[in-house]
Amino acid sequence: MKTLLVALAVAVLGAGCKKKEEAKPQVVPAMPAEEIKRSEDACKIYVERVCTCATTVPAAVKSCELARALPDAVRIALEVSGSPDSKPDIVQQSLASVRKTAKECIEQTAKLPALGCP
């Protein structure tokens, strides 16, 4: 019985002392250049269109003010994702932010005719 307890104690202690397997650094694929260009263009076009419209349609003035931050949001997220100091989870979040912002720019551009913008 004593031998069994000693063996069990050694097994438990030995299991706790095993080397932890080092996690391989997660590699996040870079955003393709075409997607970057499309995202930047989508927000640039939206800003141009909504701010041009705001000169004649008062309902678009607030949208123009808010839209000016969108190209910067894309740029900053791309800079963060490209930084060598960014961890994989931050890179993924930054790329998701770029995609979300571009989607918003496209959707808002599609809504401009409802505001009375050409």
Report whether pLDDT(24) > 80.
Answer: no
As separate numbers, helices (DSSP H) first and strands (DSSP E) second, the chain gives 5, 0
Question: What value does the mean pLDDT take over residues 33-49?
Answer: 98
The full length of the chain comes to 118
DSSP secondary structure of 22-59: PPPPPPPPPPPHHHHHHHHHHHHHHHHHHHHHHTT-GG
What whole-number distance in Å separates Cα of residue 62 and Cα of residue 23?
48
- pLDDT exceeding 70 applies to what percent of the chain? 79
Question: What value does the mean pLDDT take over residues 43-53?
Answer: 97
Indicate the pLDDT class of residue 23, thresholds 50, 70 and 90.
low
Confidence (pLDDT) at 19:
52
Confidence (pLDDT) at 57:
95
- Higher pLDDT pick, 3 / 52: 52
Confidence (pLDDT) at 27:
82
Phi/psi at 23 (5° precision): -75, 135
**How many CB atoms are located within 10 Å of the residue 76 CB?**
15
> pLDDT digit string (tens) for 61-108?
999 999 999 999 999 999 999 999 999 999 999 999 999 999 999 999
What whole-number distance in Å separates Cα of residue 33 and Cα of residue 40?
11
Tokens 């263009």, located at residue: 41
